[in-house]
Amino acid sequence: MGCESLPEGCIATILSRTTPRDTCILSLVSRTFYSASQSDAVWASFLPSDYISIFSRSVSHSSFLASSPSNKSIYLALSHRPIIIDHATMSFHLERKSGKRCYMLAARALTIIWGDGNTPHYWKWTTLPDSRFPEVAQLVNVCWLEIHGVINTSPLTPNTHYAAYFVFKMIDPEGLRYPVRLSVDISFRQSTVKEVYLYPNLDGWHVDNRMRGLQLPNVRSDGWLEIEMREFFNSGLVDDEVHMSITGTEGSWKRGLVIEGIEVRPKEAN
Amino acid sequence: MAKTPEPKRTISLKPCDGDVIEVSPMIAKQMQTIQSFIEDDSFIATTTIIPLPNVTAFQLSKIIDYLNYHSNSKAVADNVKESTKKFDEEFLKELEHDKLKELLHAANYLNVKEVLDFLCQAVADLIQDKSVKFVRKFFGVVNDYSVEEEEDIRRTHAWAFEGVEED
């Protein structure tokens, strides 16, 4: 019984209920699995339903679909590197292994106090070769550091644990040896506030009680620093507004912080 | 008002290893393979027994159980959803891997979409995060790749194999 092998269509249906990563790994099972693993039907289930509109919101990829690529190629394009959309105020990509949706709000999409471009002696807009965006915000000199960003949860993948990350770097920093406050509000219902350091390590610092145990940023694979602001669960049932802010008002003049943006991506399952 | 006696309204299915099982047209309709029998002009519901040489009595009755339960519980109320979930869990719990796989074959042969979808999801849950070796064994599939071809697939999908232990 059951010696005959399953037809390819059936294998494709099974693969489409796994993940992109499983599908690629299981293409190694046999030639029939490989053939099923390449099918448009399987990859259609991993593509976001609005991928056509995402391409149309991008300048660099606006004609990507013109050559009628396979669904797998579309998936790989969306997960290869972030696609810059909405007049370079946001980036979009799929986390390659799971197909879950990731967004980054560019510095241009954030509200930066004293950073509206009218006071370049406080904040200036500049270009960095390792930024995904055409512009980043560089802190020239302020006492009052305050940044806000808002993202809606409806474009995120449902049933997924997400986290928001502040993405930045330090270029000749000064005056930033004080903790900054990260606060996240979800539709003004659940708010969290925490103090963190924006310095990646405190080597050579005098560590007092208040500084001990504060969260520090990590270095990302793209060379930027990031610090987790908060994690949250997106059920997909309600469209929440996630309000995020970074505030540093201790000490006096601060300089040298460069802002890439705020990224919202799935929190890795441990 | 007196009812006129209804003609026989069930469809007779004969599995490969047991007695004829009668199913309602509602249920039979969901089996595409049976449906094409019924649509055939020479089909006479009263006398024709449809032979199913690829399906055992056990598999056929499981599939009928599933369809019966689900056609009776289409409501969306939470308590119904809850009991449907329970039914589905129990349904799978009674199936060992081999039985599940064979049932999938049977559902595929009979082409019953609802059961097929359900079983494909169950199998997908089972093989997710599993090794190639496990899945080969599960499906009884032999590796038909050359070493070079295997290497090639690993190379082109290197991102998927990151952190995966070799079998």
Residues A221 and A171 in one domain: yes
In a domain, B121, yes or no: yes
In a domain, A90, yes or no: no
In a domain, A148, yes or no: yes
Distance in angstroms (rounded) separating the CA atoms of residues A56 and A87:
11
The parent domain of residue B90 ranges over: 11-59+83-159
Residues A129 and A259 in one domain: yes
Q: B116, B67 in Cβ contact below 8 A? A: no
Sign of CA dihedral B135, B136, B137, B141: positive
Total tally of structural domains belonging to chain A = 2
pLDDT under 50: residue ranges of chain A: 1-3, 270
Residues A180 and A48 in one domain: no
Minimum-distance CB partner of A6 among B105, B128, B145: B105
Asked if A17 lies within 8 A of B139 by C-beta distance, the reply is: no
Worst-scoring range by mean pLDDT, B43-47, B95-99, B108-112? B43-47
In a domain, B125, yes or no: yes
In a domain, B71, yes or no: no
> Chain A residue with minimal CA distance to B116?
A10
Asked if A22 lies within 8 A of B127 by C-beta distance, the reply is: yes
Question: What pLDDT, in 10s, does the model give residues A17-26?
Answer: 999 999 999 9
Residues A43 and A121 in one domain: no
Asked if B140 lies within 8 A of A2 by C-beta distance, the reply is: yes
In a domain, A1, yes or no: no
In a domain, B142, yes or no: yes
Give CA A198 to chain center in angstroms. 18
**Local structure of A237: helix, strand or coil:** coil
Residues A234 and A114 in one domain: yes
In a domain, B115, yes or no: yes
Q: The domain spanning residue B135 has which CATH number?
A: 3.30.710.10
Residues A73 and A106 in one domain: no
In a domain, A3, yes or no: no
Minimum-distance CB partner of A6 among B98, B121, B139: B139
Question: What pLDDT, in 10s, does the model give residues B58-94?
Answer: 999 999 999 999 887 766 667 778 888 999 999 999 8
Between B140 and B163, the higher pLDDT residue:
B140
pTM flag (> 0.80): yes
Residues A109 and A215 in one domain: yes
In a domain, B87, yes or no: yes
The parent domain of residue A49 ranges over: 8-80
The per-residue pLDDT for A3 is 44
DSSP string, A147-171: EEEEEESTTSPSSEEEEEEEEEEEE
Residues A261 and A132 in one domain: yes
